[in-house]
Amino acid sequence: MTNYILANRKDNPYLPFGDHRGAPFYGKDILSVKQFSRADLDYIFGVAHEMRVMVERVGTFDLLKGKILANLFYEPSTRTSSSFTSAMERLGGSVIPINEVRYSSVSKGESLPDTVRTLECYADVIVLRHPEVGASVLAAKYARKPIINAGDGIGEHPTQALLDLFTIIEELHQVDGLTVTMLGDLKFGRTVHSLARLLSLFDIRLHYVAPEILRMPAEIIAELDAKGIPQSEHTRLEDVLAETDVLYVTRVQKERFENPEAYESVKGAYVITPETMKIAKQRMIVMHPLPRVNEISMELDDDPRAAYFRQMEYGLYVRMALLAMVLGKA
Amino acid sequence: MTNYILANRKDNPYLPFGDHRGAPFYGKDILSVKQFSRADLDYIFGVAHEMRVMVERVGTFDLLKGKILANLFYEPSTRTSSSFTSAMERLGGSVIPINEVRYSSVSKGESLPDTVRTLECYADVIVLRHPEVGASVLAAKYARKPIINAGDGIGEHPTQALLDLFTIIEELHQVDGLTVTMLGDLKFGRTVHSLARLLSLFDIRLHYVAPEILRMPAEIIAELDAKGIPQSEHTRLEDVLAETDVLYVTRVQKERFENPEAYESVKGAYVITPETMKIAKQRMIVMHPLPRVNEISMELDDDPRAAYFRQMEYGLYVRMALLAMVLGKA
Amino acid sequence: MTNYILANRKDNPYLPFGDHRGAPFYGKDILSVKQFSRADLDYIFGVAHEMRVMVERVGTFDLLKGKILANLFYEPSTRTSSSFTSAMERLGGSVIPINEVRYSSVSKGESLPDTVRTLECYADVIVLRHPEVGASVLAAKYARKPIINAGDGIGEHPTQALLDLFTIIEELHQVDGLTVTMLGDLKFGRTVHSLARLLSLFDIRLHYVAPEILRMPAEIIAELDAKGIPQSEHTRLEDVLAETDVLYVTRVQKERFENPEAYESVKGAYVITPETMKIAKQRMIVMHPLPRVNEISMELDDDPRAAYFRQMEYGLYVRMALLAMVLGKA
């Protein structure tokens, strides 16, 4: 499909008529955080919360029984791939795993449009991970079935941003009024860029804590500034941690620095330990997109404020919601 | 199993007695197009058409609920593997995907007979893709459960030939009386060889259009000649396109030519564009086994005569039919 | 979980209360053969036998419908992975296959504890194959959901030992009173070490037949000696074959020998042929963990005493039993 906003799909033979009346995302693609209004988010998170309740109550249920997901990963991502697989299976659907694209005929000169037009003969929805920016938009242009972008290079990874926001809602029961601090590599992390954009739909305050060379890009700051979001930049977490409701940690990679000394001089400031957390509120959360390496000490894992593993679980519910919605079953 | 024609399997504990009465392919292997009579084809395509109707009506149904397919791919083939996976899942069955044979203990010196005898402990049917000619016959000799050949080197790929023929039947509602033109690399393409053999069971006329060095092998021409099939060879598509009902396009690979000039001099004659199609009938179809690279222009994709993506979908129905048949459920 | 012996899991939200009353392995990890008492084995094999009866009768049934298994393989093992996949699918459950760990973000510096804590957000049970000794114990220490060790380096592979013992029980209907002969590489084979330990719970007699450099380790002999198990070492199979009830064959690898001559001089003594078997009992069985290369002649495959392919099938039943047990459904 060519556009974010599409009429309900008429040409899908797999769903009986009437199945999708009133289903606002039926047949649509999930390509970018930019496609969502605040009302859309309310709807998505409402469905995601229902998914949480159902999984906690019965584990799995047959909402998508008979539906097939093609999990098309041009680059490996066990975490995201497993999450979508589980989401489909917990809804009673099936998965076609396609993980070895680089070895297969799919990659031997075949264009992405041809690949998705082949796979939609076999599946009802396609989840696409691709190393090139814009791949999911291209795929959606040619596909009749819904495409869900599971990351396209340094471009978008909308389901990650949605699960990050859903985590905040489920953990803190609000977004408006919160102070969110983003820490670490804010320059290259598409995760924090997408989350910042989504958060700008809310009445929020943002702190950015990063080494000088890894600051939040000026265009994003300008974009949020135009929406009236209060933002401030810092190099020391201590300056803002005490007033933080959500601390979003990302990794500072040694390779980003020109010389090892520069890295050594800052790295300690971006590692979260129980000691660091002493000045933090009792009711706040620490998030991380995972995988982490050293940026959060394992000693913090038992702290109830450490939300990063629960964050993975919220991701399951968000992906269940999105799959059900685009297939007209939510 | 050692032979194409086998008694119904008595030793399969997974099917209750009586389940398979009157099921002519129950327990058999699918190894070669040579094993099918015209009556067999009528039966297979009748079942495949029923599968199409059911998928269009309900998407998925539980005909093979509880059955397990081992998808054993010694070389990658995303398209074929995904098609069989979808076929099994649309019938309510499950799949054991085995795609990494080259890394695994299966490949560490273990013989193919041992591998299939192990896998049939876990599965009810085995789909086998293997780089060596004759691999599926060897596997079938030792296996108690049905083997479906999904391509063995330059040998056979019977389900591809069956889906090609089924495409013609579903699109044009007949085979007898048609003129089929095969275009491109007719020397090395096992696809066109198998399809030509299957077509020879019908009252058909064949045109072969190929560069001199990629002509249809003499033994296949002789084989069809003995059956009274009218055949003619050409180097220019324009000579036969106007009377063609089915244009079957294959890729002409540069590597087949001794020098680049020879390739450059012919390649234009084997690329299908909207311009090429001006002299073709209004009611005819263009087929391609996919993946395509440049041999059919993407501008042709919206032409209703472009049947190559529908061809993929017909493949799903044929594979559903074959799985149901060998498991005694059709 | 940190210990072999654990209280029933209270924190699993996926199982309704009461589901697991009286289920002795509910929520536990399967890490080592050392964790099983003889009563445990009776219970496991009782359930495994029920699984066999059910599979033979109906093929598949929905005992674990809605449950999800994460099949986490850090090194490839098609046989074991396929067996667990089939076990879960024959019980109506679903599988998340994770086979490409070395390419994926899971392996990019992420710790095993983090990986399993992520995967348990998506799955109800984790099967783990890992090249390092102790990996499954480490995983179980951090996971809230059950971990099943599917092999950790030269350490343990408890489900293999259990299926070996179950094979003996199903084939010979007893263990007490039997004479078991282990043949081949007894020094490096974790399979024979684990099986010997399990057999020591029974009233059994053991013969070890191996080249001098591949003898059973002294510590295992001492361990069994302390339990009063009669053991004897030999270099020639003929000395003990006639009185053997179970002949357990393993491969003698050429690479274990310092020079080719040493290998050539012994290899013939460790290949089983129909000729070898002439002096064996009529009612006895030949086992092998597979894959075999040359150590058992293919001519023996039709001998009813050749139990190695049936052994694979018994493995399916044992793994079905374990999955059902740790998920509180047996």
pLDDT tens, residue by residue, A187-238: 988 899 999 999 999 999 999 999 998 999 999 999 999 999 999 999 999 9
Closest residue on chain B to C289 (Cα): B118
**Contact predicate B125/B327, CB 8 Å:** yes
For chain C, list the contacting chains (3+ Cβ pairs, <8 Å). Answer: A, B
Closest-CA distance of chain B to residue A272, Å? 40
Report chain A residues whose CB lies below 8 A from the CB of B86: 68, 96, 122-123
Closest in B82, B291, B312 to A96, CB measured: B82
Query: pLDDT tens-digit profile of A19-73?
Result: 444 578 999 999 999 999 999 999 999 999 999 999 999 999 999 999 999 999 9
For chain B, list the contacting chains (3+ Cβ pairs, <8 Å). Answer: A, C
Closest residue on chain B to C310 (Cα): B121
3-state secondary structure of A209: strand
For chain A, list the contacting chains (3+ Cβ pairs, <8 Å). Answer: B, C
Q: In what order do the strands lie in the sheet with B179-183?
A: B231-234, B205-209, B179-183, B246-249, B285-287
Report chain B residues whose CB lies below 8 A from the CB of A103: 76
Q: Is the pLDDT of residue B75 over 70?
A: yes
**pTM assigned to the model:** 0.91
Task: Indicate the burial class of B115 (C-beta count within 10 angstroms; 0-12, 13-18, 19 or more).
Answer: buried
Number of CB pairs, chain A paired with chain C, less than 8 A apart: 81
Closest-CA distance of chain A to residue B2, Å? 31
Q: Does A291 touch chain C (CB under 8 A)?
A: yes
Q: Compute the mean pLDDT over every residue in chain A, rounded to the nearest whole number.
A: 89
The two structure tokens encoding residue C139: 């995983």
- Split at pLDDT 50, 70, 90, the class of B100 is low
**Contact predicate A86/C96, CB 8 Å:** yes
The two structure tokens encoding residue A55: 């999984």
**Spatial CA neighbour of B110 closest among B121, B118, B98:** B118
Q: Do B291 and A100 touch (CB under 8 A)?
A: no
Identify from A111, A122, A142, A329 which residue to disrupt to test chain B contact, counting B C-beta atoms within 10 A and taking the largest count.
Answer: A122
Q: Is the pLDDT of residue B16 over 50?
A: no
Identify the helix (H) or strand (E) that includes residue B286. Answer: strand B285-287
Closest-CA distance of chain C to residue A137, Å? 24
Distances (CA, A) of B224 to A2, A78, B27, B175, B313: 47, 51, 31, 16, 29
ipTM: 0.90
Ranges under pLDDT 50 in chain C: 1-21, 105
Long-range contacts of B189-193 (CB under 8 A, 24+ apart): B189/B250, B190/B154, B190/B155, B190/B156, B190/B157, B191/B157, B191/B160, B191/B161, B191/B164, B191/B250, B191/B289, B192/B216, B192/B248, B192/B250, B193/B217, B193/B220
Q: Among A14-18, A171-175, B147-151, which stretch is predicted with the lowest mean pLDDT?
A: A14-18
Residue type at C145 in one-letter notation? K
Q: Do C96 and A86 touch (CB under 8 A)?
A: yes
What residue ranges define each of the domains in chain B, with the CATH number in brackets?
33-156+313-326 (3.40.50.1370), 159-309 (3.40.50.1370)
Q: Does A113 touch chain B (CB under 8 A)?
A: yes
Closest-CA distance of chain C to residue B21, Å? 18
Q: Is the pLDDT of residue A104 over 90?
A: no
Helix C158-172 vs helix C190-199: angle between axes, to the nearest 10 degrees? 60
**Spatial CA neighbour of A255 closest among A214, A210, A297:** A214
Position B9 scores a pLDDT of 37
Q: Is the pLDDT of residue B142 over 80?
A: yes
Distances (CA, A) of A12 to A89, A145, B167, C200: 22, 8, 20, 62
Q: Is the pLDDT of residue B215 over 60?
A: yes
Closest in C97, C100, C105 to A291, CB measured: C105
Position B6 scores a pLDDT of 31
Q: Do A85 and C123 touch (CB under 8 A)?
A: no
Distances (CA, A) of C15 to A65, C8, C64: 21, 12, 11
Report chain B residues whose CB lies below 8 A from the CB of A13: 55-57, 59
Closest residue on chain A to C102 (Cα): A76
- Split at pLDDT 50, 70, 90, the class of B305 is very high
Position A267 scores a pLDDT of 75
- Secondary structure letter of residue C37 according to DSSP: -
Distances (CA, A) of C103 to B105, C135, C308: 19, 19, 34
β-partners of residue A72 are: A98, A128
Q: Is the pLDDT of residue B238 over 80?
A: yes
CA distance C58 to C56: 6
Q: What is the mean pLDDT of residues B264-279?
A: 88
Report chain C residues whose CB lies below 8 A from the CB of A99: 99-100
Query: pLDDT tens-digit profile of C122-146?
Result: 999 999 999 999 999 999 999 999 9
The two structure tokens encoding residue A148: 């869900």
Closest-CA distance of chain B to residue C95, Å? 9
Q: Do A56 and C13 touch (CB under 8 A)?
A: yes
Query: pLDDT tens-digit profile of A106-135?
Result: 556 789 999 999 999 999 999 999 999 999
Distances (CA, A) of C39 to C24, C35, C147: 11, 11, 21
- Split at pLDDT 50, 70, 90, the class of A252 is confident
Q: What is the mean pLDDT of residues B25-30?
A: 95
The two structure tokens encoding residue B100: 């990494």
Closest in A68, A70, A106 to B90, CB measured: A68
Closest residue on chain B to A112 (Cα): B291
The two structure tokens encoding residue B93: 């069955």
Identify from A58, A62, A77, A89 which residue to disrupt to test chain C contact, counting C C-beta atoms within 10 A and taking the largest count.
Answer: A89
Q: Is the pLDDT of residue B258 over 50?
A: yes
